[in-house]
């Protein structure tokens, strides 16, 4: 089993859910499909959806909600 890293394509602020009062897209341990949204990156007041990019099990987030991220930083890992 290998780990797939999901990286932020842009610098910005990472959000785990689509709005402050809704549940996160995914929680640690969830299974993901390739085109599942796993979070949003806010960059200069616009929001870009981050997709898992791979199908796999047991996603694990490495960045907290509302944390600043750098371009290329690993946001989450997925077991494949």
Token representation of residue 46: 């616009």
The residue (of 13 and 31) whose beta carbon lies closer to other proteins is 13
| Other C-beta atoms lying within 10 Å of the C-beta of residue 79 | 15
Nearer to other proteins, 10 or 54 (CB): 10
- Region class of 48: left (phi > 0), else alpha (psi between -120 and 50), else beta: beta
Residues forming a β-bridge with 32: 56
Give me the residues that bind other proteins (CB under 8 A), please. 10-13, 19, 21, 42-46, 66, 68
By beta-carbon proximity to other proteins, the closer residue of 57 and 68 is 68
Report, in Å, the least distance between residue 6 CB and other proteins. Answer: 18
């Amino acid at each position: 089993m290998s780990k797939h890293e999901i990286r932020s394509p842009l610098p910005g602020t990472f959000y785990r859910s689509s709005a402050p009062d809704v549940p996160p897209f995914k929680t640690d341990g969830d299974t993901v499909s390739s085109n599942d949204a796993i979070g949003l990156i806010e960059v200069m007041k616009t929001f870009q959806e981050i997709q898992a990019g791979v199908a796999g099990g047991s996603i694990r987030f490495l960045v907290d909600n509302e944390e600043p991220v750098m371009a290329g930083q690993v946001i989450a890992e997925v077991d494949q």
